[in-house]
Amino acid sequence: MNFLAHLTLSHFSADLQVGNYLGDLLRGKEVAQLREGIHRGVLMHRAIDRLTDADADVRAVNRLLRSRHGRYAGVISDIAFDHYLCRNWVLLGPVPFALFTRTTYRNLLAAREEMPERARRYVNGMVEDDWLSLYATADGMHKVFERLLPRLSRPEKLAGVEESLQEYDAAINRALLLLFPRLQSLAESYREQPPSP
């Protein structure tokens, strides 16, 4: 799962949303220095990733993608799941999408001072360019994958990614629809955790 799924699953708590946003951006000491609610969000992010990575349907999708895209199959499926979440937003989204993005951006901007500099820059770009809405359209997905290219050591492995998503459309959609309720249950368990004394 990529940004949209993590932020959707933690929509009920600003702290958990911020932690889910930071989950892939922070390491070791940086995580330990976060206040408790945000720290729990990072832990939630990692639990979501573990459940997703272990899911049989997700692994089947990654096998399909691996034939053309090699080691980037998991990265592609993470991004694709955000697109399919948008496609199924009426069924899976917690509130109307425009309200969700507004609230999410407000939560992230309000917590900027608690983020390391690189995460702050990242969130500024996310809000300014409305990254979450990019997942909703084919043009937006094209932009998401274009932004990814400079960060890859073998960008040629992304060639044909949009065709792959079309080819495996049913399998990706099915995997998301089967997995997401389990992720929602996991997220609910974090919502119900009382804060540490």
| pLDDT of the chain, 197 residues: tens digit per residue | 899 999 999 998 999 999 999 998 887 788 888 889 999 999 999 999 999 999 999 999 999 999 999 999 999 999 999 999 999 999 999 999 999 999 999 999 999 999 988 889 989 999 999 999 999 999 999 999 999 999 999 999 999 999 999 999 999 999 999 999 999 999 999 887 755 54
pLDDT of residue 194: 56
Residue 3 contacts residue 126 (beta carbons within 8 Å): yes
Q: Determine the pLDDT at residue 111.
A: 96
The pLDDT assigned to 140 comes to 97
Alpha carbons 67 and 61: distance in angstroms, whole number: 11
What is the pTM for the complete model shown?
Answer: 0.93
123 close to 133: Cβ distance less than 8 angstroms:
no
The per-residue DSSP string of the chain comes to: --HHHHHHHTTT-HHHHHHHHHTTT--HHHHHTS-HHHHHHHHHHHHHHHHHHH-HHHHHHHHHHHHHHGGGHHHHHHHHHHHHHHHTHHHH-SS-HHHHHHHHHHHHHHTGGGS-HHHHHHHHHHHHTTHHHHTTSHHHHHHHHHHHGGG-S-GGGGTTHHHHHHHTHHHHHHHHHHHHHHHHHHHHHHHHPPPP-
List of residues 6+ apart from 31 with CB closer than 8 A: 22, 39, 42
Cβ atoms of 65 and 77 within 8 Å: the answer is: yes
Can you give the pLDDT at residue 195? 54
- Of 150, 3, 191, 194, whose CA–CA distance to 85 is shortest? 3
How long is the chain? 197
